[in-house]
Amino acid sequence: MVLQKKKYGNLDMIALSFKVSPLYSLIFAVQRILGALLPTISIFVNAQFINTAMAVLNKKADMRAIHMPIILLAAIMVYQVLIGVLMNFVNCRAKIYYRMKLRPEMIEKRARLQYRHIEDPKTADLIKRVCPSVDENIREMYTRILDVTDTVVYILGIVLTLFTQIWWVALFILVSSVPILIIATKAGKRSYDADKEMAKVDRRANYLSDVLKSREAVEERSVYGYAGKLNELYGKRYDFARKFRLKVSRSNFIKNKMGGIITSFLSVITMLAMLKPVTEGRIDFGMFIALMGAVFGLSNRLSWGVNWLVEDLARRKEYLKDLTEFMFLDEQEDADVLPKENMTFSRLEFIEVSFRYPGTDKLILDKVSFVIENGKHYSFVGVNGAGKTTITKLITGLYTNYEGNILVDGRSLRDLSPSEIKGLSSVVYQDFAKYYITLYDNIAIAHLNQQDSLADVEKAVRLAGLSEAVGKLADGLDTPLGKIQETGVDLSGGEWQRVAIARSVMSPAPLRILDEPTAALDPIGESMVYKKFEQISKGKTTIFISHRLGSTKLADIIFVLSGGKIVEKGSHSELMAEEGVYYEMFNAQAEWYAESGHTEHLAEHSTEHSNGTEAIADAG
């Protein structure tokens, strides 16, 4: 494993790359050091060529004397061309290798994270910063270290060469470079701080940009015509960030120009200092010309290259801090195991369970106790925020930081293995997932333990009422869903809903939970879906979660939640007879049916459970 739970520091900019690939890291290091030495070597080769060419022209040397300098110059040029082509190829291969090596590790780490980190906005932002670009950041931070090495070797090579000619000029350039490096360092830090300051503005602008461009929002953009207004908001946010960065860039530009003036001054001083030794013959003309070219190249790099290098190094160091924080996030043990096959239970019991979400003070569940028995149908009802979905999150093991106890056949839920917890239940959530893979895989993914599941998938399709939709697809179950692939097909909202239900049917889990996946439907449509789900779940234990009461009569026992507590419990008829909270909620919702002209439908659904399911008894 390359990525470990540790505090990452500056040395890890090198170590991480070598852990990923010692070979590629060594190739890059050797190539960059040779590249850094080349300007110094070129000084002597160019000097020799100029001196020899002048000697030949002045009849002081034979024509054959120029052959070796020309061969050396040609060798340098050929090397630069070939190494450029070769390193482009190596870089492409390295990018692929780093991605294949690091992204699976990052995916596995994300899969092991405790669920609370996914719902926490702070850690969710951290995950977004760290995960998508892990391979690029590790590769680039090593490249920046090589850039530093390249720059140091380049500067030392030229300064040492100058030292052999006029020692005090070399020392003068070395000392005068210090303020230039300080200016560049501060400018780089200011640029990074500006980027960090504008990160929130950028995120908001990018969100507006996504809304303006995304396929998901195209219908509402057309209907409401808000594109112009959002464009205006986007323009304001973008322009604010642009002006802020421009101000910093202008300040840096002026200071870098001052650095450029200093380096230009150094170049002029160097040239003037070398004129007398050249005229006196202590420095030959070829060395003078070659050295001056190298000095001007050095001033250009000191003026601009160091600024960008410092800025990017600061950014990579911040990434290491984020990576450290990410790797120390708590993990769920054995989170990536498959659900246990043939998991069963007779009794699931909540005993005085209290819960609040991490980082908050509000008590969502307050000493809640109830029993779920195998083979029965249950319904949890209450207003939004009453704690209904929280109960499903505790049952499925997403949160373990609750008080009290949850028992499965006498065993604490905390003592069950992740495989057993996964095998206990299947859930159709309100915001169920839409996987842009084939329809077959969308359903079969719920039972990965089963190798050949075509018959079971076809059965799930039939029970979920998807047969007609599948029949219309050109490739049937092998049709890719979504618009990612050219042959992909997008389903309607109701069809996606049935796909989610088919997944639940496909799962062999003994407990099936329907957590308001029909919230976007009207109450009558919701009732029909719940009735269908109840019918195809015969022999299983089911839990219906809803704040609307059109489906509650399907349940054997209804739990009414209010203020984090179970305030009532019983069948539909029992709770109506009590004339308590449930009675008031049901009658309040009944007024909607009456006002909408659906009183007959309400009366039909107010009958006993057995009568309510006769019309679809043949669906199973």
* Confidence class for position 305, pLDDT limits 50, 70, 90: low
Asked which of 230-234, 324-328, 358-362, 460-464 is least confident by mean pLDDT, the reply is 230-234
pLDDT surpasses 90 at 599 = no
pLDDT surpasses 80 at 20 = yes
Q: Which residues pair with 143 in a beta bridge?
A: none
Residue 425 Cα distances to 344, 347, 376, 464, 543, angstroms? 10, 13, 14, 18, 10
pLDDT on residue 578: 92
pLDDT on residue 620: 33
* Confidence class for position 197, pLDDT limits 50, 70, 90: low
State the chain's mean pLDDT as an integer: 82
Dihedral sign from CA coordinates of 156, 162, 168, 174: negative
Residues 249-277 have pLDDT tens digits of: 776 666 666 666 777 777 777 778 878 88
Question: What is the rounded average pLDDT of the residues 377-405?
Answer: 90
pLDDT on residue 29: 95
pLDDT on residue 301: 74
Question: What is the rounded average pLDDT of the residues 412-437?
Answer: 89
User: Is-contact 571 558, C-beta < 8 A?
Assistant: yes
User: Is-contact 513 487, C-beta < 8 A?
Assistant: no
User: pLDDT: is 334 or 17 the higher one?
Assistant: 17
Helix (H) or strand (E) holding 373: strand 365-373
pLDDT on residue 612: 37
- Residue identified by tokens 């008080």 is 403
* Confidence class for position 315, pLDDT limits 50, 70, 90: confident
* Confidence class for position 358, pLDDT limits 50, 70, 90: confident
* Confidence class for position 460, pLDDT limits 50, 70, 90: confident
Say how many residues make up the chain.
620
User: pLDDT: is 216 or 558 the higher one?
Assistant: 558
pLDDT surpasses 90 at 348 = yes
pLDDT on residue 608: 41
User: 126-156: b or e for each residue (b if 16 or more CB lie within 10 Å)?
Assistant: bbebbeeebbebbbbbbbbbbbeebbebbbe
User: Is-contact 142 16, C-beta < 8 A?
Assistant: yes
User: pLDDT: is 191 or 120 the higher one?
Assistant: 120
Q: Which two tokens stand for residue 448?
A: 């990965």
3-state DSSP assignment of residue 134: helix
* Confidence class for position 117, pLDDT limits 50, 70, 90: confident
Q: Which two tokens stand for residue 233?
A: 């908001």
pTM: 0.72
pLDDT on residue 255: 63
Question: What is the rounded average pLDDT of the residues 332-339?
Answer: 81
pLDDT on residue 189: 65
Domains present along the chain, CATH in parentheses: 12-327 (1.20.1560.10), 347-619 (3.40.50.300)
pLDDT surpasses 70 at 361 = yes
Residues 226-246 have pLDDT tens digits of: 778 888 887 887 787 777 777
pLDDT surpasses 50 at 341 = yes
pLDDT surpasses 60 at 530 = yes
pLDDT surpasses 80 at 525 = no
3-state DSSP assignment of residue 565: strand
pLDDT on residue 611: 40
Share of the chain above pLDDT 70, in %: 84
Rounded Cα distance, 434 and 485, in Å: 15
Residue 36 Cα distances to 41, 157, 158, 327, 387, angstroms? 10, 8, 10, 36, 64
* Confidence class for position 619, pLDDT limits 50, 70, 90: very low
User: Is-contact 430 516, C-beta < 8 A?
Assistant: yes
Asked which of 4-18, 70-84, 372-386, 450-464 is least confident by mean pLDDT, the reply is 450-464
Question: What is the rounded average pLDDT of the residues 83-104?
Answer: 93
* Confidence class for position 85, pLDDT limits 50, 70, 90: very high
